[in-house]
Homo-oligomer: A and B are copies of this chain.
């Protein structure tokens, strides 16, 4: 997965996605003593960057009968939207106890939600059985080079928009769960600007990415971590994302639950934008690690799907 793959993904998905704006906030800049560029993926189709990766993959499939995803969150909506673009059906396997709000979101985008008797432990089996039964195409939430390339279009746009605004981001901060978004963004940013640092951000309670990069092997969490940031409760990085992160990412910053909450509050009250906890991770990193970060920072606000 390289810059050419991201360019190709961009050409495929451009007709169906927004070039989300790069927002600034003088209030936040003054408060934090930084110059922040906020990549507004909460304003992307489906309310998160996940539409990019799902579309980037789905648009390479030859006449699929339908799309199938396992997700309790934004990936479900991304795949539902991709299926709508293709004019096929979407099946989403979700645990029975997943939030009714998230289920309603997936249904609102046209997906059929399969949740009867589904638990975190058996959902892969349920998905496998459905794949065999339906012949639908499986879209992985992160561990697929085409999905990663799709998420990388966030980095492509971000650097182009910053350049147009005449601002040079010294570092880019990206939430990391399975690593698809981080791998894509790091690939684009490092190709376009090798001196720009790229950091992943994850909750302290879900520090597998940090440990994986430090130990040089994929560290797996023993169970789903308890964190507000429900978009990064993944147990581990993927076989495809890990080597890319090792090569192209400068480090992973971990943040406390208090910092995440405070970052959400700042985004809500100061920028008037609805950002979900996972999307607030980069700002939480500025709150907790600002002293050792450069002045001009691009933050990827990954999504805004939260209940009213």
Q: A residues within 8 Å of B by Cβ? A: 42-43, 47, 264-265, 268-269, 272-275, 304-305, 307-308
State whether B43 touches A269 (Cβ < 8 A): no
Which residues does chain B contribute within 8 Å of A269, judged by CB atoms? 274, 305, 307-308
Query: How close is A301's CB to chain B, nearest CB, in angstroms?
Result: 10
State whether A272 touches B308 (Cβ < 8 A): no
Which residues does chain B contribute within 8 Å of A272, judged by CB atoms? 42-43, 47, 273-275, 304
Considering the chains assembled together, what is the distance between the CA atoms of A264 and B308 in angstroms? 8
Query: How close is A276's CB to chain B, nearest CB, in angstroms?
Result: 10
Contact of A268 among B43, B264, B265, B308 (CB under 8 A): B308
Considering the chains assembled together, what is the distance between the CA atoms of A268 and B275 in angstroms? 10
Considering the chains assembled together, what is the distance between the CA atoms of A43 and B269 in angstroms? 11
Identify the closest chain B residue to A261 (Cβ). Answer: B308
Most chain B CB within a 10 A radius of its CB, from A264, A274, A304: A274
Which residues does chain B contribute within 8 Å of A273, judged by CB atoms? 272-274
Apart from A264-B308, A272-B273, what are 16 other A-B pairs with CB-CB below 8 Å?
A42-B272, A43-B272, A47-B272, A265-B308, A268-B274, A268-B308, A269-B274, A269-B305, A269-B307, A269-B308, A272-B274, A272-B275, A272-B304, A273-B273, A273-B274, A274-B274
Query: How close is A22's CB to chain B, nearest CB, in angstroms?
Result: 13
Considering the chains assembled together, what is the distance between the CA atoms of A268 and B272 in angstroms? 10
6 closest cross-chain pairs (CB), A and B: A272-B304, A272-B274, A265-B308, A268-B308, A42-B272, A269-B308
Which residues does chain B contribute within 8 Å of A305, judged by CB atoms? 269
Query: How close is A4's CB to chain B, nearest CB, in angstroms?
Result: 31
Identify the closest chain B residue to A268 (Cβ). Answer: B308
Which residues does chain B contribute within 8 Å of A43, judged by CB atoms? 272
Considering the chains assembled together, what is the distance between the CA atoms of A305 and B268 in angstroms? 9
Query: How close is A240's CB to chain B, nearest CB, in angstroms?
Result: 30
Query: How close is A283's CB to chain B, nearest CB, in angstroms?
Result: 13
Considering the chains assembled together, what is the distance between the CA atoms of A307 and B308 in angstroms? 13
Query: How close is A189's CB to chain B, nearest CB, in angstroms?
Result: 25
Which residues does chain B contribute within 8 Å of A264, judged by CB atoms? 308
Query: How close is A50's CB to chain B, nearest CB, in angstroms?
Result: 15
